[in-house]
Chain A
Amino acid sequence: MSNGTEPANLPEASQPTAGGREYWRSLEELAGTEAFKALMGNHLPRHAAAWTSAMDRREFLKLMGASLALAGVSGCLSPAPAPPDEKIVPYVNQPEEIVPGKPLYFATAIPAEGYGRGILVESHMGRPTKVEGNPQHPASLGATDAGTQASVLGLYDPDRSRVISNAGRVATWDAFFSALNAELESQRVSQGAGLRILTETVTSPTLAAQLQEILRIFPKAKWHQFDGGAGDYAQQGARMAFGQPLETFYRLEDADVIVSLDGDFLLRSPASLRYAREFINRRRIPGTSSEANRLYMIESTFSLTGSNADHRLAISPSAIPQLATTLAARLGVQISAQQPAISPAHEKWLGALVKDLQAHRGRSAIMPGEYQPAIVHALAHAMNDALGNIGKTVFYTDPVAVNATNHAESLRELVQDLEDNAAQVLIMLGGNPAYTAPADVDFPSHLVTSNFNVHLSLYEDETSALCHWHIPQAHYLESWSDVRAYDGTVTIMQPLIAPLYGGRTAHEILAALAGQAERSSYEIVRDYWRGQSKEKNFDAAWRTALHDGFVAGSAFSPRNVKPKPAAGFDASALKERSSGAAVKAQNEPSIEVIYRPDPSVLDGRFANNGWLQELPKPLTKLTWDNAVLMSPATAAKLGITYQVGGTGGEHGTIYADVVELEYDGRRTRGPGWIVPGHADDCVTIHLGYGRRRAGRVGTNLGFNANALRTLDTLWHGTSIAIRKTGAQYALACTQFHHLMEGRDLVRAGTIDGYHKNPKFLRERESEKEAPATLYPGYKYDGYAWGMSIDVNACIGCNACVAACHAENNGPVVGKKEVLRGREMHWIRVDRYHRGDPSNPETYYQPVPCMQCENAPCELVCPVGATTHSQEGLNDMVYNRCVGTRYCSNNCPYKVRRFNFFLYSDFKTESLKLLRNPDVTVRSRGVMEKCTYCVQRINQAKIAAEKDDRAVHDGEIETACQQACPTRAIIFGNINDPQSQVSQLKAQPLSYGLLTELNTRPRTTYQAKLRNPNPEIENG
């Protein structure tokens, strides 16, 4: 390298770790300590300009145009011809670490509803483009969920707020700080009696310390938390059972029998990625010697976890606590509460369950759902105790959330104070209470009463609109911070890019409150940890922490606790619920209502994220909307029907009956949607829709469920009135048809059946002899890429879909196009139901391009735009495609997607930065499809060729494979008999989709194996 005056070379730490692609660095390593000190010394010699801090990385933003112009950085099938003489713009000072055209990987964490998940972020020339899981982080294990994948889009979202606004007028940071200080002065006098701080769930040690500091300065100030209130019941339950707040987590790899009381732990839990992995690891057959686990689910709404259960009991929400009580009693828990009678059907089910549990003492787990009342949590703890699971499969630690309070109560107090005008100065750090708070507290009208309020947020949203001051927040990929995972593990979050829109972090705002406005969050976080550190060489420790993506040994150690005798439990909640049931008993038809965060946009925080809006929600496969979910029986009772649209139809438009919902005097309207397997006499409504100020994407989609909710019944209401309005509403559903029509697309059996006869799948005629062919067939010497997808492991979480979209520059087409059946996902998760519609079996089948060896699509392409590569890939050449769409017609799997319009955004600058430079951005009129992430294959091959070796197994991971929480997708070289994929394909459970067509797909599947309890199954 030429510039000798650059900072010192890298420490050794920054070597590629096993797995090839996981190759990331800490910013500090990049800096080299001298330059770093120089920076801290606030003296920056012009030519010592490595990107040592956010400040310098701002340079990259200036150069972004440059990096786009750099060769190969933006692959695109331009709609317009390239400019005659394109400019090429080099750096003035090239940062030591930047090798133009090569990505770098940095470790940080995403705060998912407060809880951290370790991630690695791919950065091209200083622009983060893709998020992967951090294999070494306990809450990630290398996997990610859809939301994490889509968070990069959130970073570049052009609708993010860019300016400080004061009562709607644009202002400056200085103006803000001076205004703030003025207010604080007056507060000092009253020791902050009028100062209120509202945060979401806080797990950040630094933030916590800062808040403590502020409460020290302003003793009378109050810190409120409101994050939807998902954690409240669990906290109450813990207090009820242990007399103290405790965090519960489970070690599912040791659990043979899992009972979930309405807990959607595979999707909605800070540890869901880990749980999914552990849960599935016990079901991989063959491969595990230990016996497969069995999941019993008791729930009302049809959750993702429920759809993966071996046995599922769909009962109305008010009945769950009662059933829990009975179950507890059967398991020998002493309780005062009277035991309600249960139906014989349930009786039998419960009997079998109890037997199963008793047979697996210490190897089972009872998991209460976060939305179940405290009593259920308490009972679960008691049951786990009774079964001797505590310390084996169930663990308790100190709460990860700092100062864990009851959010509902906290919000109530705040509103009260606002009403009494006790709260004069309100600082809101993130969150969007004006939208998320239940209607009955009427937060908006109270908010405006305070005489000084500030809202720090990514968007100028509903809350900002009501505030005196809105200040833009830095995205987590722009921020220095720290966060704890479900088990307390701390990750130091490092920014990947300077704040695009000049946002600031909560740390910086709190620092300002403490009168240190000049401190950067980098200093704040680092100084905090310097203070904590016992290391003699803090810098080294700090660098290691950043490099690894977590602070070693920061996890909480499990507490050795024992629940109080259950008799002491306050069963009032139980009564309340039962009374709900009672109410229901007398005035039929009264329907219960369940509120849940939307699987994609959660409580609305991701409402403006097009990727997530267009992501077909698990089970319903709806996009761009929420709906009133109900069982077929309930729908029939209410006369709710649907009509398949003449355009799009099952793959696009469904006209649903609009219903009017009335709860507690408040009304709203939404489309009714029939979900097989939903419990009768109750409906589920997803939150996060009906946003009024979300941005160009998310505004005015769906309907707002918060308009119905009350603070007491955050997640469940006992009697809601539903009326059919007669109107219809077009919902965009990507897969309405849920039957397999007797075609064996997903092959399934039971684990017992498998053990009896492992080859049971192969006993079909078509499988026996090899498909006849006239053609000699091609030899693939060298690599032959193939994929194996384990239907048994797929939980249907959509992570692969989002990951694929992010990796391959997938466009967002919008609801109108989805209605026509034109969504652009290269991989889709097909959902099929089987059996009794009131409680069906569910199967998920991810369908990417099968890369057929006798590809029907190639044969019919008139211009040879899709051909076969020497490694057996079914190449798609966008720039050769003329768009006859014949290939799509002839694709039996219908995995090809077409750019009917100019879907890719060639205009918005910020979105250009998001692009993966190694994948062509498709223009109008061309076909596209899954390529097995050929860009990754080529990179790996080139890397291997350069050090004259072969690509080793596992070196190449496709985007879908990398994201998958359960490792259901395995990719590799099928010419190498030792490779994981070859071995999977050799297994008796392996089968191909539609092989009778002699397409000879390279992608094959592993059959689904359920593990039913014979007692229930054969009843």
Chain B
Amino acid sequence: MAQIFHPSTNTISRVTIFGGLILLIAVVTGLATINESPYITEVGVARTQPVPFSHKHHVGDDGIDCRYCHTSVEESSFAGIPPTKTCMNCHTQIWPDSPILEPVRESFRTGKSIQWTRVHNLPGFVYFNHSIHVHKGIGCVTCHGRVDRMPLMWRENTLYMDWCLECHRAPERFVRPREYVFSMEYQAPADQLALGQKLVKEYRIQKLTSCSTCHR
């Protein structure tokens, strides 16, 4: 009988088999990486806003406290987005007619809200409460990053469940003294764990990993 295949097919067939395997692995890992990448998580991606509001300027340079605008962060689940009024408190005097601030003034005139683009967005089925985290000594920076260095706001962390769990499983690694919660510069001491364990005891912090802690 005549040969059906050319000698090269032997090599080709092996190459295809192993190549296929490698390709499969590549695809899987690729998808995984994309899922972790800013493309999906929006980590480090500055979002454009109707008004180019700079936390860097207001927090970093002017040193305005977080709570001046995010008023309900200590009492409510929601930290609060400042009403136009809050902006106008200062900007009636400072830059009263800068073109950049026109949307703000317009909102104030017309009573139409400014439509900010949301940066930190949890799924509807996740219930996060700012006030209790603040009360238990979790600093703003821990989740939101050095806001005082962000000209435009971006997301510092993935907000994925496994990220939340890092802290819920080992709060001592992240907790800080209450008085530093709103501080931008606070640096975790070398003996964070020791301090952490102390604070966990002091603030009666529980390791809440029950599903209903966040999902209801």
Residue positions of A touching B, CB distance < 8 A: 1-4, 46-47, 59, 63, 66, 69-78, 82, 85-94, 99-102, 782, 867-871, 873, 875, 877-880, 918-921, 931, 934-935, 938, 942, 945-946, 948
Q: Which chain B positions have C-beta within 8 A of A63?
A: 113
Q: Which chain B positions have C-beta within 8 A of A74?
A: 124
Q: How far is the CA of A254 from the CA of B206 in the complex (A)?
A: 49
Closest to A808 in B: B216
Cβ A66 vs Cβ B212 within 8 A: no
Cβ B82 vs Cβ A76 within 8 A: no
CB-contact partner of B135 in A73, A85, A945, under 8 A: A945
New contact pairs (13) apart from A71-B122, A87-B117, CB-CB < 8 Å: A72-B122, A75-B127, A82-B124, A87-B116, A92-B85, A93-B83, A101-B72, A871-B210, A875-B215, A880-B211, A918-B127, A938-B216, A946-B135
Q: Which chain A positions have C-beta within 8 A of B122?
A: 71-72
Q: Which chain A positions have C-beta within 8 A of B118?
A: 69, 85-88
Q: How far is the CA of A859 from the CA of B191 in the complex (A)?
A: 41
Cβ B114 vs Cβ A870 within 8 A: no
Cβ A72 vs Cβ B216 within 8 A: no
Question: Does B112 have its Cβ within 8 Å of any Cβ on chain A?
Answer: yes
Question: Does B16 have its Cβ within 8 Å of any Cβ on chain A?
Answer: no
Q: Interface SS of chain B: helix, strand, loop or mixed?
A: loop
Cβ A92 vs Cβ B131 within 8 A: no
Closest to B128 in A: A72
Cβ B114 vs Cβ A877 within 8 A: no
Q: How far is the CA of A871 from the CA of B84 in the complex (A)?
A: 43
Cβ B212 vs Cβ A879 within 8 A: no
Closest to A4 in B: B89
Cβ A87 vs Cβ B72 within 8 A: no
Q: Which chain A positions have C-beta within 8 A of B111?
A: 46, 59, 92-93
Q: Which chain A positions have C-beta within 8 A of B216?
A: 75, 918-920, 931, 934-935, 938
CB-contact partner of A92 in B72, B113, B123, under 8 A: B113
Cβ B127 vs Cβ A72 within 8 A: yes
Q: How far is the CA of A938 from the CA of B128 in the complex (A)?
A: 11
Cβ B129 vs Cβ A85 within 8 A: no
Q: Which chain A positions have C-beta within 8 A of B206?
A: 782, 870
Cβ A92 vs Cβ B212 within 8 A: no
Q: How far is the CA of A63 from the CA of B115 in the complex (A)?
A: 12
Chain B interface size range:
35 or more
Q: Which chain B positions have C-beta within 8 A of A871?
A: 210
Cβ B47 vs Cβ A85 within 8 A: yes
Q: How far is the CA of A198 from the CA of B134 in the complex (A)?
A: 59
Q: Which chain B positions have C-beta within 8 A of A921?
A: 124
Q: How far is the CB of B64 from chain A (nearest CB, A)?
A: 11
Q: Which chain A positions have C-beta within 8 A of B124?
A: 74-78, 82, 920-921
Q: Which chain A positions have C-beta within 8 A of B112?
A: 92
Cβ B204 vs Cβ A945 within 8 A: yes
Closest to B70 in A: A100
Q: How far is the CA of A885 from the CA of B10 in the complex (A)?
A: 51
Question: Does B121 have its Cβ within 8 Å of any Cβ on chain A?
Answer: yes
Q: Which chain B positions have C-beta within 8 A of A2?
A: 68-69, 71, 82, 85-86, 89
Q: How far is the CA of A934 from the CA of B214 in the complex (A)?
A: 10
Q: How far is the CA of A70 from the CA of B212 in the complex (A)?
A: 21
Q: Which chain B positions have C-beta within 8 A of A87?
A: 115-118
Cβ A94 vs Cβ B210 within 8 A: no
Cβ B208 vs Cβ A920 within 8 A: no
Q: How far is the CB of A539 from chain B (nearest CB, A)?
A: 27
0/1 interface trace, chain B 130-160, chain A, CB 8 Å (1 if under):
0110011000000000000000000000000
Q: How far is the CA of A100 from the CA of B212 in the complex (A)?
A: 22
Q: How far is the CA of A873 from the CA of B135 in the complex (A)?
A: 25
Q: How far is the CB of B85 from chain A (nearest CB, A)?
A: 5
Q: How far is the CA of A948 from the CA of B205 in the complex (A)?
A: 11
Listed by A's residue number, 16 A-B pairs whose Cβ atoms lie within 8 Å are A3-B83, A66-B113, A72-B127, A73-B78, A76-B125, A87-B115, A87-B116, A94-B71, A94-B83, A870-B209, A875-B215, A877-B211, A920-B124, A920-B125, A938-B216, A946-B135
Would you list which residues of chain B between 84 and 127 have a CB under 8 Å from chain A?
Answer: 84-86, 89, 107-108, 111-118, 121-125, 127
Cβ B125 vs Cβ A100 within 8 A: no
Cβ A934 vs Cβ B212 within 8 A: yes
Q: Which chain B positions have C-beta within 8 A of A4?
A: 89
Cβ B125 vs Cβ A3 within 8 A: no
